[in-house]
Chains A and B, each alone.
Chain A
Amino acid sequence: MGIKLTIDGKEVEAKNGATILQTARDYGIYIPTLCDNPALEPYGGCRLCLVEVEGMPKPTTSCTTPITEGMKVKTVTPQVERLRKTVIELLLSDHPNDCMTCERAGDCKLQEFAYFYGLRSNRFYGKRRQYTKQDGNPFLERNMDKCILCGQCVRVCNEVQGVGAIDIAYRGFDAKVCPSFENDLNCEFCGQCVSVCPTGALTGRIWSKKGRTIGIKEVETTCSYCGCGCQLNLHVRGNEIARVSSKPDNHNEGWLCVKGRFGYEFITSPDRLTTPLIKRDGKFTEATWDEAISYVAERFKKIIADNGPDAMAGLSSARCTNEENFLFQKFMRAVVGTNNVDHCARL
């Protein structure tokens, strides 16, 4: 039996224990949030998700308030809108005006709310946090002056990744997210924290200046590293991969590991083979495809003619696609005429 309530005059129903925010989301009713993430435990930190509930003296955070029978919720009132606007203003008062060069511009929740609330400069000029500490890890860029302390990175690292590499240290104005003793980050570098960060505080180092949203085409594909087969979105600009992301509604739930998220640089490595090579007198010399193909075909044909098809064999790869493996064994069986075909999957 579900619990019945109304949100913005609409009758809705949800399971006992659900929060107002979860219920609203299920019914497609939008409530702005900065610290909530459906994959993580409710946090109640940003106070952007405030709603008015009939009978309650003050607005309440919808992400932490459980629903009750007959509850009447209003998500948009002049009072909560004013409070939300103040929340954003306060965050901006301690945020560098760096959207011009920020990696996340166009894909940043703080920027988006500032836009919707029409906030350019604000009433709360004051002291700004200064972070001088540079983190030397090779994967993650951590710009802590852009951190809004939503705690998502800390929670994802703990709750989802089971690592607990970072925490919110110090209190009040000095509060910041950092590894213990403010050391350099030394963790699994999965980048889960980067993927949940609502601002430009966390980004990938190799993403720097590769492109943001303009001119980016996203291509959904499958990771080529391990057997998990995570679904990746390659963000492509021109002929180059700018970054990698993953959507929460796929079987890997949007999570990736360090290889899938940051391990694509080999694609543009200068070591890539770019032309067929034929060894002559012990040295490789460049060849055209026509030369290479007819040379290989001639040599294969000669071996088959002289020694029979079973003097030939093929080894294929667990890294190639199904179609390539299918064609490879078809080539060995139907064209060469041997069942001498295997792959190295034993390893």
Chain B
Amino acid sequence: MAGLVTVFGSGVMTNSVPETENNDVIFVIGSNTKENHPIVALRMLKAVKKGAKLIIADPRRIPLVKHAHLWLKQRHGTDVALINSILHVMIKEDLINKKFIEERTEGFTTAAAAVEGFTPEVGEKITGVPKEKIIEAARIYAAGKNAAIYYTMGITQHSHGTDNVYSLANLVLMAGNLGRESVGLNPLRGQNNVQGASDMACAPNVFPGYQKVSDDAARAKFEAEWKVKLQDKIGMNAIDMMYAAEAGKLKGLYIMGENPVMSDADQKHTLHALKSLEFLVVQDIFMTQTAELADVVLPAACFAEKDGTFTNTDRRVQRVRKAVNPPGNARDDSWIIMQLSHAMGYEMNYADMSEVFDEVGRLWQNVAGINYRRMEKGGIQWPCPTTDHPGTPYMFKDKFPIGKAKFSAVKFNPSLELPDDEYPFTLSTGRQLLQYHTGTMTRRVKAIDTAAHEAYVEINPADAGRMSIDNGAMVRVSSRRGSITLKAKVTNVPDVGVVFIPFHYSEAAANVLTNPVYDPICKIPELKVCAVKLEKIQEDKNHAA
């Protein structure tokens, strides 16, 4: 998460999940926690039972709203305006932590100037949240002794996602809510090992442990361990790869366990890019939509069939243990990589996965104290530099990795594609509880597929009534990029003028519709907001039930 790296020097969850139950104020923004991080939500409910105040900022009536003390129903894509006006109130009412700002931060004055125009009235006009609620949110948050913020894709999947993160960082810095147990700013990681995949540097600019490829000392260390010369030039990220493939500059692509045809923001473009490659290898447990396009498909083992570790959302490195054998000739991803490596003339010899982890520890101080023997007693949260270190539940106790944390002056930019006469609805996409990611696993679980079989679009009853769309009727949803047909689910979860589509279903893939514009810094696509229109599909009279 590049946004947090800029302001603190590190982009991880500042607290651990168990600390949540001791929060006295919980501010959840852009996270449908109950469905996407169910176990974090349980800790939140525990805190609420102990008396914590729960503030939710979400355009949709997500399940957690039922337990909230205050629900801010901001319009899609107006988070910065909302946070800026909360900051405005905090400054005006002198609810800020001057000592913390003085000692541990820089840039307060310019950040404060940037929110000066965001009176609660202005905030109300942009976000649709009544100004009284904005003021109340500021007061509740500022009054918290153990206040923490939680967010996910609802914040980051925007063309201005990094700005959203900056403004949340401003909020915790103004309140001085960092560096203690149960206070902080917590990006909840979506997939099981997002944290680990970033830590292990499947990223074009860094080696494992966020050590820059351009840094001579870091490179020398890796060259010595791997006994090979390494490049100092930053590589291509996933999005650039697709463009380079289309342009014919990228010839070969090796994909392990991902399904970009389904998960990228613009399906047409991704399909075209992958088809332009000279040679595509996909290694996965199922024949995914991406694997269909491959020249070679390599069958992999799933989590229950192999040894290793995952790092969860609160930096906890935990063991994955082999319970059953993989089917047929499927093999561990690590075995496949090692075989390929040998075949290309480079020896990778590890007796087992613990040796691989030990190599990571030799190269990255923050996990140097973690090993398989210690993990027998349970997961360990990094940073953990030595084998007698207990691990780190919360971050930034005495200082930030960059010294002083940086305030940012954040301007409000509306989403790039707003509803108009032709495309009058705002489309938002996301996950639902039962299905997972692109559905390759969950759609093969019978019970889940029975309960959540079909793609659907959520429509507010008022819109449905106006357009005479019945619950369960088929509708066509179109954007400037394409259209899909799926069932209407009439519910008051989305607001009037807004529709929501879960992205797990390939037969009605939401990424046919979404806008492939990216946050300029994080390169996260704008999956949360684009403009669409709805059309009712006329039913054949004879079939009408």
Contact = CB atoms under 8 A, between A and B. Distances in A.
Interface string A260-285: 00111111110111111111000010
B271 interface: no
A255 B39 CA distance: 7
Interface string B40-68: 11100110010000000000000000110
A334 B346 contact: yes
Contact of A322 (B251, B254, B309, B322): B309
A226 B36 contact: yes
Contact of A340 (B190, B204, B279): B204
A137 B252 CA distance: 47
Nearest to B193: A318
Given A159-B49, A318-B192, A300 B344 contact: yes
Given A279-B294, A279-B295, A297-B343, A226 B49 contact: no
A33 B324 CA distance: 36
Contact of A341 (B66, B67, B235, B316): B235
> Is chain B's binding surface mostly helix, strand, loop or mixed?
mixed
A346 B523 CA distance: 8
B185 to A, nearest CB: 16
Nearest to A315: B255
Given A263-B441, A327-B338, A347-B190, A272 B285 contact: yes
A334 B442 CA distance: 35
Interface in A321-347: 321-347
Interface string B285-299: 111000100111111
B344 A316 contact: no
A20 interface: no
A313 B192 contact: no
A12 to B, nearest CB: 26
Contact of B525 (A205, A241, A346): A346
B379 A251 contact: yes
B308 interface: yes
B396 interface: no
A343 B198 contact: yes
Nearest to B523: A346
Nearest to A237: B324
Band of interface residues on B:
35 or more
A264 B67 contact: no
Interface stretch (B224-232, B418-426, B458-466): B224-232
B323 interface: yes
A277 B296 contact: yes
A201 interface: no
B343 A258 contact: no
Nearest to A139: B447
Interface in A134-183: 137-139, 159-162
Contacts of A272: 285-286, 299, 327-328, 330
Interface string A206-219: 10000000000001
Contacts of A262: 445, 447-448
B356 A343 contact: no
Contacts of A346: 156, 238, 522-525
Contacts of B373: none
Contacts of B264: 347
A328 B202 contact: yes
A284 B527 CA distance: 33
A307 B196 CA distance: 32
Contacts of B46: 160
A303 B251 contact: yes
A259 B37 CA distance: 11
B46, B279, B310, B325: most-surrounded residue (chain A CB, <10 A) = B310
Contact of A225 (B18, B356, B436): B436
B318 A222 contact: yes
B142 interface: no
Contact of A316 (B258, B336, B434): B258
A222 B319 contact: yes
Q: Which of A240, A321, A328 has the most CB of B within 10 A?
A: A321
B433 interface: yes
Interface stretch (A45-53, A70-78, A109-117, A286-294): A286-294
A180 B331 CA distance: 48
A273 B297 contact: yes
Contacts of B107: none
A146 B305 CA distance: 36
Nearest to B279: A299
Contacts of A310: 235
Contacts of A314: 202, 253-256
Contacts of A347: 153, 157, 190, 263-264, 524-525, 527
Interface SS of chain A: mixed
B324 A239 contact: yes
Given A315-B260, A330-B348, A303 B356 contact: no
A342 B334 contact: no
Given A227-B195, A273-B297, A313-B253, A160 B42 contact: yes
A293 to B, nearest CB: 5
Contacts of B281: 296
A294 B310 CA distance: 30
Given A221-B321, A234-B304, A344-B263, A274 B297 contact: no
A267 B325 CA distance: 10
Contacts of B327: 268, 272, 274
Nearest to A140: B447
B192 A324 contact: no
B448 A258 contact: yes
A224 B319 CA distance: 11
Interface string B341-354: 10111101000010
A297 B79 CA distance: 48
B322 to A, nearest CB: 7
Contacts of B49: 159
Contacts of A301: 344
B241 A315 contact: yes
B359 interface: yes
A318 B191 contact: yes
B331 to A, nearest CB: 7
A190 interface: yes
Nearest to B312: A229
Most buried by B among A162, A277, A326: A326
A180 B310 CA distance: 40
A79 interface: no
Contacts of A107: none
Given A274-B327, A293-B343, 12 more contacts: A221-B319, A224-B441, A227-B191, A251-B16, A265-B444, A273-B285, A273-B330, A315-B258, A321-B333, A339-B213, A345-B190, A346-B238
10 contacts: A221-B320, A222-B379, A226-B192, A229-B313, A251-B17, A255-B42, A272-B286, A313-B236, A327-B348, A338-B235
Interface of A: 137-139, 159-162, 188-190, 205-206, 219-231, 234, 236, 239-241, 250-253, 255-259, 262-269, 271-279, 284, 289, 292-297, 299-301, 303, 306-307, 309-347
The 5 A-B pairs of least Cβ separation, nearest first, read: A229-B312, A274-B328, A321-B308, A317-B257, A339-B235
Interface of B: 16-18, 34, 36-42, 45-46, 49, 66-67, 153, 156-157, 188-205, 207-208, 213, 222, 226, 228, 230-231, 233-238, 241, 244, 249-258, 260, 263-264, 278-279, 281, 284-287, 291, 294-300, 302-306, 308-314, 316-325, 327-334, 336-341, 343-346, 348, 353, 356-357, 359-360, 378-379, 433-434, 436-437, 440-442, 444-448, 450-451, 522-525, 527
